[in-house]
A = this chain, B = another copy of it.
Amino acid sequence: MIIIIASVQVRPDRLDEALVESRKHVARSRLEPGCLSHAVHQDAEDPCRLVFLERWADQAAVDAHFAVPEARAFAKSLGAMADTPAQLQLFEATPRG
């Protein structure tokens, strides 16, 4: 399984717009092959810090996700609402216990 943790610091004046677009991205991504979970959150210490938490079946599913035109357009759009580049971390993950 691949876990993706992505975070972006959006500008306060773009937060509402970023949340609307992020919810759409999440809903669309959940329908993609190999998507096990996908959700967007606001950091409880800083509501303008949006954190995406995604679980994918394998790297092929992740590669396909990153190639979806709507996902690429979303990433570009979200980047324009942020002061700094988004941070993306991928992990090869095995459930324990």
Chain A interface size, under 10 / 10 to 19 / 20 to 34 / 35 or more:
20 to 34
A40: nearest chain-B partner, CB-CB: B44
Number of identical protomers: 2
Contacts of A91 in B (CB 8 A): 1, 3, 91, 93-96
A27: nearest chain-B partner, CB-CB: B45
Decide: A94 and B92 in contact? CB cutoff 8 A: yes
Decide: B53 and A44 in contact? CB cutoff 8 A: no
Q: Which of B1, B41, B95 contacts A41 (CB 8 A)?
A: B41
Q: How far is the CA of A26 from the CA of B40 in the complex (A)?
A: 19
Shortest Cβ distance from A50 into chain B, in angstroms? Answer: 7
CB-defined A-B contacts under 8 Å, sample of 9: A5-B53, A22-B44, A23-B44, A23-B45, A39-B44, A39-B51, A40-B43, A40-B45, A59-B96
